[in-house]
Structure 1
Amino acid sequence: MRHRILLLAALLPLAACTDQQTASLQQAASAAIGSAHQGIEQASAPLGKLKQQASAALGVATVLNPELKQQVQQLKEQASALKGAVEQQTGQR
């Protein structure tokens, strides 16, 4: 019940808006969401390249030192678990 009251209270200012003001608010919100998505995509691009470089370096290292292979596998498993936890927290799944 409390959530409904809060929702109604939050919507009251919107009810007083004209159609033009409502449309303007919707456009501003949409632009903000689009900007946030674009920022996330741009921030993620360098990570992909870094991941490729790290993977190549680890491949060479494990060939030169076979003892590292098990350690690398453990680190990959930990990184995968961490990635899953982050995605779950951010709702990306």
Structure 2
Amino acid sequence: MKLEKTSKVQISTTIDHNIKIKAQSILANNDLTINEYLEMALTDVANNGLPEYFVNPSSELTASILEANEVISNQKDTPNITTTREELNRMLNS
């Protein structure tokens, strides 16, 4: 679904200062500003949807989520998982 051009609106967001500085530097090396990049990214999402890697998690992530669910619901034995600091210290020092 292609969107028609309409009037512009301003978007405001808050981000960690260090992230902004790093991103700004990388973008500047590619002759882009943060505003230009965000406009391009949002326009692409509006016209094409989210990239596949946002929508479909990797097989590793899916397996980790399923394993965590088994652990949480006590369906899986977890011999290498500690619940106290003492257990963690004992495992690290063995």
Structure 2 length as normaliser, TM-score?
0.28
Q: Which has the higher helix share?
A: 1
Higher gyration radius (CA):
1
Structure scoring higher RCO (CA < 8 A, sep ≥ 6) equals 2
